[in-house]
Chains A and B, each alone.
Chain A
Amino acid sequence: MKKLFVNLDRCIGCQAHSLACQRVRHSAVTLQSTMIETVGTLPVVCRHCEEPACVAACPQEAMTRDDDFIVRRNASRCTGCRSCVLACPFGVLSQGMKLAMFASGKCDLCDARVAEGKEPACVATCPTGALSYEEVTDVFRKDREMVLGSHAVGYRTYIRRP
């Protein structure tokens, strides 16, 4: 299972991923940056949770978690009630609401691009390599090797999370 990872050791807060997401999804931004007080600007990405609160909260069954472990939003079913926005514990879904007033934006991990053999737009554009789209086990293995081999020189390596 591949997921989107953020390496905070490498994120410079350039917000290129936001524009890439906006461009690919025709102005319905699903991935934005959030200013963390006194720390910096970070990308806020959908975790595609195992038990998504947004799916449970949706009264129209517009939010679903598919067999490929991607949480999707069905645009034709969504009525813009914002239940998913309130339910999301990470504040990810609220990002897209400003532009799409009657439907919440939702990251689908650029499945159309991935099917063509490309990376998601945010990952492809990231100038520093802070965003990566990798197998979960690979990322954990790399982190473990980095720590055991004493190559971990970054400050925030330990908070790399999907």
Chain B
Amino acid sequence: MKVERNHICLFCSLGCGFTIESVDDEAVNLEYDTADEVGRGSLCAKGNFMLELLNHPERLTEPRNREKTLTWDKTLETMKDVLEPRLDRSEVGLIIEGDALREDISAAVRFAETCLGKDCCAVHYATGDDLVYRALLEASIPNPPVRLEDIERSACTIAVGDPFEIGPVISGRVLDARYASRKNILAVIADTSNMTSRFANLKLMGPVRTTLAGLLRVVVEETGGNEPAWKQAVRDAYPIPEDTIITDLGRKFVRTPSSFLILETQDPIAAQLAAAVVAASGSDKRLFTLGTYGNCGDICELSPATVTADTLMTRARDGHIKGFIVLGADIARGPAGETIGQVRKQTDFIWAGAPFDNGTTQIADLVLPTAIWLESEGTIRGEKRTPVVGFPGGALPYGEILRRLAHKLGRPLNGESPEPAPRRKEINGELIRRLAKEIGFQVPEPVIRSTSLRYADGAITDAMSWIRLQERSSW
């Protein structure tokens, strides 16, 4: 029987929708969901890959140890035998990938609290998106939620970093705003030229922190003495000689109603500065954060996991942690690659759960096949989503594996949700001073390396378009 189900892409934080058609629980077609409010039917290269991800021949379907494949009963028995003498002793680290569903992260945190001990659970984000989101949580701004369609109507958009590269689907809306009128501004603040800056009419290339600090000063000066504490703090913090282009941009940003700042960065300090710019510019300004992880923002707000994967590695090297359960995250590659190789000898076991073979499964004692988010029930973009197809073979969601293991250990997981995030603080002079202190020694003298202002290009294009159009009409 043919079934069509809508789902959401988790490859970036935009969350574009699509439809998967399945016949007898096998995905046969991907169709573009034109009713989806985020993507409106379009998908980037990553999103088009979704069907292949579901039907991939290399998906892991059975648990296995180093010699042979196992059944789930046998696997859970083995895990129980190993874990039982280590319960509540904080000797086992649990690392779960950041791109898991909120329900899975919640189950992981509760499993660690119930069975493993204190500070044993880490959510692993390879790109450092969590640092940005946590920094923004600390410096949150009293803004209404962002609606993507508002970006199309923004007469002044500032893009920090390269949002077109991470979430190409947002580029349609940004370019709509950019081309709606010749007076509209798309400014890009980045270290070097990138995909987004090709379409910008104002480019501020240079140290991002410094440029944002300069912008913050201009914005605070421009908004007047509404916030005396801020104003003095910024003046003290950033003794920046005024740059004409930054000044122009800051004034335009403040004076344009409903202007947008789109933030794509992995630098928490830059994120806080950008949030401060938006907060200082007025209540109608918006900040839109674009990250590599689909639900990182949600999880950072909800997850009380306090330790990082690196901390667990250090504790393993010191001999405090004797084994690892790694779900999804490939900690054998990337920045932590050497660390997992070193601690492998000092740990008694490593169990890796993943949908595909990766560096961690290759060195693991037990390999657990897991489902991807399209095959699990969970909350994405604030909506409950049903799976588009069933699990392949014996694969299970991360949360279900931990629930079964907890049941086997005689400590079933309770149904409580993780604690809500602590109350957000407002941006104030104190935060600005701290930020200034943090970046002060790193970037002492702000320099705008190169700027280009191409307001005049429109007129040239008009003339050239007209000539070409005359030629073309003779066809």
**A152 lies within 8 A of B468 (CB):** no
**B168 lies within 8 A of A128 (CB):** yes
Q: Which residues of A contact B466 (CB under 8 A)?
A: 147
**A154 lies within 8 A of B41 (CB):** no
Q: List CB contacts (< 8 Å) of B181-230 with chain A.
A: 181-182, 184, 195, 198-199
**B30 lies within 8 A of A23 (CB):** yes
Indicate if A19 sits at the interface (CB-CB under 8 A).
yes
Q: Which residues of B contact A155 (CB under 8 A)?
A: 457, 461
Q: Which residues of B contact A14 (CB under 8 A)?
A: 44-45, 164, 168, 171
How far apart are B228's CB and chain A's nearest CB, in angstroms?
Answer: 40
Complex CA–CA separation, A40 to B194 (angstroms): 11
Q: How large is the interface on B (under 10, 10 to 19, 20 to 34, 35 or more residues)?
A: 35 or more
Q: Which residues of A contact B462 (CB under 8 A)?
A: 147, 150, 152
Q: Which residues of A contact B30 (CB under 8 A)?
A: 23
**A153 lies within 8 A of B49 (CB):** no
Contact of B43 among A16, A18, A40, A152 (CB under 8 A): A16
Instruction: Say yes or no: A128-B172 contact (C-beta < 8 A), given A14-B44, A14-B45, A15-B45.
Output: yes
Q: Mark A129-156, 1 if CB is under 8 A from B, else 0.
A: 1000000000010011011001111111
Complex CA–CA separation, A135 to B61 (angstroms): 49
**B164 lies within 8 A of A154 (CB):** no
Indicate if A159 sits at the interface (CB-CB under 8 A).
yes
State the total of A-B contacts with C-beta under 8 angstroms: 103
Complex CA–CA separation, A140 to B44 (angstroms): 28
Q: Mark A16-46, 1 if CB is under 8 A from B, else 0.
A: 1011100100000000000000001000000
How many residues from A make CB contacts under 8 Å with B?
A: 33
Indicate if B465 sits at the interface (CB-CB under 8 A).
yes
**B461 lies within 8 A of A16 (CB):** no
Indicate if B32 sits at the interface (CB-CB under 8 A).
yes
In the complex formed, the residue of B with least CB distance to A22 is B48
Q: Which residues of A contact B467 (CB under 8 A)?
A: 158
Complex CA–CA separation, A155 to B201 (angstroms): 11
Indicate if B339 sits at the interface (CB-CB under 8 A).
no
Contact of A16 among B48, B178, B458 (CB under 8 A): B48
**A12 lies within 8 A of B168 (CB):** yes
In the complex formed, the residue of A with least CB distance to B44 is A16
Instruction: Say yes or no: A153-B469 contact (C-beta < 8 A), given A14-B45, A40-B198, A127-B44.
Output: no
**A18 lies within 8 A of B461 (CB):** no
Indicate if B135 sits at the interface (CB-CB under 8 A).
no
How far apart are B87's CB and chain A's nearest CB, in angstroms?
Answer: 47
The 9 A-B pairs at the shortest CB distance, nearest first, are namely A158-B468, A19-B48, A14-B168, A158-B465, A127-B169, A127-B168, A128-B172, A124-B32, A127-B42
Q: List 11 A-B contacts (CB under 8 A).
A: A12-B168, A12-B198, A14-B168, A15-B45, A20-B43, A23-B52, A40-B198, A124-B42, A127-B171, A153-B181, A153-B458
